[in-house]
Amino acid sequence: MQILELSRQTVEDFLFLEAELIDSQRFEEWHALFTPDGRYFVPLTDNEDTVHQAAIVNDDPLRLEERVYHLARVPFPSQSPRSRTLHLVTNVRIRPSGEGPGNTMTVVSNQLIVEMRVGDFRQVGLGEQRSFAAEVEHQLQPQGDALKIAMKTVRLLNRGGPVSNLTFLL
């Protein structure tokens, strides 16, 4: 597969597949979409510095494995009951080649992530729909016949503001 030959439709299909895996809580299959050195990054600040800034998520491959293990295998209070999510993926743009490293394609989409926790809907924090708007950047690489994520960056619209419980996948 040549990265430069990919159509927007192919790329969109990939983003839709990724969204479906998250929304249907197939977390380990989602993890398998990443390259072995793939990273997942949700910055808190506009400058996206990680030397002097803390991020919301700053996962290298081992931390990403830990996140997926935590989410899929270890029940924890802020996901008991769990979040349902629904990703709306739109405004997909393929950045000109040369912007990403090597055989990598940079794809930017706008996403509206709607989240709601199930359980006793009369209780605080459950049954409430929250929405998160974000610009999402994927660095994609071909591996055999498949596309893989080398890096996923989620730039939340409300980064830096008061935000609680982002313990689901964005």
Partner 1 sequence: MASSKSPIQGVGSGGDPQELVLRGPHTFRVHTRAYSDPAIFDLEMERIFGRTWVYVGHESEIPQPGNYKTAHIGLQPVIVARDDKGGINVFYNRCRHRGSVVCREPRGFANNFRCPYHGWIYGKDGRLLGVSMRDGYPSDFQQPEGLQKVPCVDSYRGLIFARAVAEGPSLVEQLGLAATWIDRRVNMSPVGEIELVAEPYVVEYRGNWKFMIENIIDEYHFAFVHEPFNKLQERYGDSTGDYGAHVSGSAKDMNQRRQAGRLSWGGVGGHGLGERRVSDEQLDSLLAGEDGDYYQGLLEKYRREELARMVGGGSVMTHPNVGMIHRQIRVVRPLAVDRTEVTIYPYELKGAPEADNQGWLRSQERFYGPAGYGMPDDVEMFALNQQGLAAQAVDWLILERGLDREQVTENGDRFAPVGGETPLRALWVEWLKLMSRAD
Site residues (vs partner 1, CB under 8 A)? 42, 44-45, 50-58, 62-63, 66, 69-70, 74-78, 123-125, 160-167
By beta-carbon proximity to partner 1, the closer residue of 146 and 163 is 163
Q: How far is the CB of 14 from partner 1 (least distance, A)?
A: 23
Residue 14: CB atoms within 10 A of its CB come to 19
By beta-carbon proximity to partner 1, the closer residue of 36 and 77 is 77
Q: How far is the CB of 80 from partner 1 (least distance, A)?
A: 9
Q: How far is the CB of 53 from partner 1 (least distance, A)?
A: 5
3-state secondary structure of 84: strand
By beta-carbon proximity to partner 1, the closer residue of 4 and 62 is 62
Q: How far is the CB of 72 from partner 1 (least distance, A)?
A: 12
Which residues, including other chains, have CB under 8 Å from residue 20's CB and lie 6 or more apart? Answer: none
By beta-carbon proximity to partner 1, the closer residue of 11 and 19 is 19
The neighbouring-strand residues paired with 42 are: 57
By beta-carbon proximity to partner 1, the closer residue of 53 and 97 is 53
Closest CA to 109 of 81, 140, 76, 72: 140
Measured distance CA(86)–CA(76) in Å, rounded = 21
Which residues, including other chains, have CB under 8 Å from residue 32's CB and lie 6 or more apart? Answer: none
- Tokens matching residue 115: 């989240």
Q: How far is the CB of 150 from partner 1 (least distance, A)?
A: 20
> Pairing between strand 34-42 and 146-156?
parallel
